[in-house]
Amino acid sequence: MSYESILDALESGEVRAAYQDETGNWVANTKVKEAILEAFKNGVNTECSGIYQGFVDKNNIMPRSFTKADGVRMVPGGSSVRRGAFVASGVIIMPPAYINIGAYVDSGSMVDSHALVGSCAQIGKNVHLSAGVQIGGVLEPIGLAPVVIEDNVFIGAGTVVVEGIQVKKNAVLAPGVILSKAVKVYDAVNEKELERGAAIPEGAVVVQGSRPASGQWAKEQGLQITTPVIIKYRDEKSNASLTLEDALR
């Protein structure tokens, strides 16, 4: 398939930049990522026209447009969805927000103001990306799986998820949480430390905590390092507080 065909298939949802294997782990679709890189290689910087006048980008990956028939509510005010990104019916995009090439945003999800869905990132159904959320993209290296946010996850304002971290179904990330492969995550419920880069478990409620910095000097100065902490797992009370309103959709 040509890279143009793969970009078309990405936009229709026929193919994705990542898929789940038989164990439930997400794996990069290397053919898709190769096609995206080929598109960048073959594109020529071009002055945009119409509502994008004054901008310059590759001629073959210009932003998508939507119609009422798509079922996507893209509110005016500076948002953009790049060529090769899939946005399902029922998604809301509040301005300004950006969804990059190869990304997948499933039905019922909200991409709030100043939120970023990076290249090839996978967003499940009924996910709430609050204001200022940054979901990192991964194009290189080719084999590295992108950030994956599974169904019914709620992500609080200003949270950052990068470096291919996966967040399992029904999890809640409180405002300001930072997740990357370099950051330790502690499970205070099960009294254990997760492996670096491990997926956030299903239904976990994560807040940004802190732990003492290592070393005698750091201890003497009372230095602390921020670290995500799982403080509970979702229950009926937390579910009620996070109910998404159908009227908004």
Q: What is the mean pLDDT of residues 121-147?
A: 93
Task: Give me the percent of the chain exceeding a pLDDT of 70.
Answer: 96
pLDDT tens digit string along 160-184? 999 999 999 999 999 999 999 999 9
Is 51 inside a domain boundary? Answer: no
> What is the domain count for the chain?
1
Question: Is the model's pLDDT at 42 over the cut of 80?
Answer: yes
Rounded to whole angstroms, the Cα distance separating 91 from 249 reads 8
Rounded to whole angstroms, the Cα distance separating 131 from 129 reads 7
Q: What is the mean pLDDT of residues 8-13?
A: 98
Is 16 inside a domain boundary? Answer: no
What pLDDT does residue 142 have?
Answer: 85
Q: What is the SS3 assignment for 36?
A: helix
* CATH code for the domain in which residue 188 is found: 2.160.10.10
Is 225 inside a domain boundary? Answer: yes
* Sequence letter at residue 82: R
Structural domain span for residue 173: 63-248
Q: What is the mean pLDDT of residues 123-137?
A: 97
Is 48 inside a domain boundary? Answer: no
Is 19 inside a domain boundary? Answer: no
What pLDDT does residue 246 have?
Answer: 67
Q: Output the pTM of the full model.
A: 0.94
Q: What is the CA radius of gyration of the chain?
A: 19
Is 220 inside a domain boundary? Answer: yes
